[in-house]
Amino acid sequence: MASRKIEDLHPDLQPLCREFVRRCEAAGVTALITTTYRSGAEQDELYAQGRTKPGPRVTNARAGQSAHNAMIQGKPAARAFDVVPTIGGKPMWDAKHPHWQVMGKIGMELGLNWYGRPNAQFKEFPHFELAKGYQ
Ligand SMILES: [Zn+2]
């Protein structure tokens, strides 16, 4: 089971994530963090989905290649979090729902790399990543 703890994010991403959730809330969008850190074994499990295991393909990253796998000195320090808007307590997975654009705009205002942006190479609407340049 992947972590949902903000404490398992990169130290620079933690305050950005908290601010993201706060700004979403202020805009009337409840943002539920679904994944922060994911271990290498969990990443490989996910990679197998849609390839050697049933289900849709959800990632192109193997263990160690995802921003969710990042560590600093052996401790989780994920460089990305995944998030979904909830409506009436239920996740809204349909990325056409307007709340996704609200979240994306807020994330980009905070300087995060949103994989749902129009020119994203690999579309992954829930994924917000720490920009390059952070150590
Ligand atoms: Zn992600």
pLDDT tens by residue, 79-129:
999 999 999 999 999 999 999 999 999 999 999 999 999 998 888 999 999
Ligand 1 centroid–CA 88 distance in Å is 24
What's the CA-to-centroid distance between 115 and ligand 1, angstroms? 8
What confidence score (pLDDT) does residue 86 get? 98
Give the pLDDT of residue 123. Answer: 87
* 47 φ, ψ (degrees, to nearest 5): -65, -35
| pLDDT per position as a tens digit, 27-55 | 999 999 999 999 999 999 999 999 999 99
CATH at residue 104: 3.30.1380.10
The pLDDT of residue 18: 98
Residues with CB under 5 A from ligand 1 (ion): 80, 82, 127
When divided into structural domains, the chain yields a total of 1
Domain that holds residue 103: 6-37+75-129
Question: How far does residue 13's CA lie from ligand 1's centre (Å)?
Answer: 14
